[in-house]
Amino acid sequence: MSSAAESAPSWHGIIRQALKGHDVRLVTYVPDNVLRPLIDGCHADPFFTTFAVAREEEAIGIVAGATMAGMRGIVLMQTSGFATLPNVLASLVVASQIPVLMLVSERGTLGEFNPGQAIVCRTMRPILDSMGIEHHTLSRLDEAAFIADRTMRQAFATRWPACLILSPLLSGERK
């Protein structure tokens, strides 16, 4: 018999199901403790090809290449890693209209102690806006499935990159 906690929906279970629903099989990531439940779940599921990379730009390049070869993918990272991406997003993904998905665990807000994280958090959405990259923040469990599904659907239909931002309101307190 499973406990209620095991059967209750979780943000990472919802995201994993959305990825499966859109045939997103490639999961690249820079290790991040907040994203650990999603990363571990993808590693454990044979549906996904999941591996760590050294840098976020590398992950974007891998997913862009896989997408051009017919395989859908996503890049998982934290906010600070996003700061390295404007050039590769503008010069490769946006310029070539490649529907690369990104999931960013948001740091730099709600009690953040690191000023560098706070600066990147304040600039991430304006950078995405300036490139016309659709982005939505996941902050409520009851909306997560809808937002994840529709964001992925739009990215693939329009052949344009998209970013899901995982709020600490949903992911919980960082330990």
Q: Tens digits of per-residue pLDDT, 81-121?
A: 899 999 999 999 999 999 999 999 987 576 666 677 777 77
**Each residue's pLDDT tens digit, 1-48:** 445 555 678 999 999 999 999 999 999 999 999 999 999 999 999 999
What's the pLDDT at 171? 85
**Each residue's pLDDT tens digit, 121-142:** 778 899 999 999 999 999 999 9
Specify the CATH number for the domain of residue 159.
3.40.50.970
The answer, yes or no, to whether residue 172 has pLDDT greater than 90, is no
Cα angle: 151, vertex 174, 112; to 5 degrees: 90
What's the pLDDT at 119? 72
Task: Please tell me which residue, 120 or 58, carries the higher pLDDT value.
Answer: 58
Spatial contact of 39 and 31, defined as CB atoms under 8 Å apart:
yes
Which of 65-69, 120-124, 145-149 bottoms out in mean pLDDT, i.e. has the lowest?
120-124
Distances (CA, A) of 110 to 26, 79, 132, 151, 173: 31, 13, 26, 25, 9
Task: Please tell me which residue, 55 or 168, carries the higher pLDDT value.
Answer: 55
Task: Name the residue range of residue 54's domain.
Answer: 4-171
- Residues 6 or more apart whose CB falls under 8 angstroms from that of 13 comprise 41
**What's the domain count of the chain?**
1
C-alpha–C-alpha distance, residues 93 and 88, integer Å: 7
Exposure string over 135-166, b if 16+ CB within 10 A, otherwise e: bbbbbeeeebbebbeebbeebbeeebbbbbbb
Instruction: Give the β-pairing of 72-78 and 24-29.
Output: parallel
Q: Work out the mean pLDDT of the chain and round it to a whole number.
A: 91
The answer, yes or no, to whether residue 160 has pLDDT greater than 80, is yes
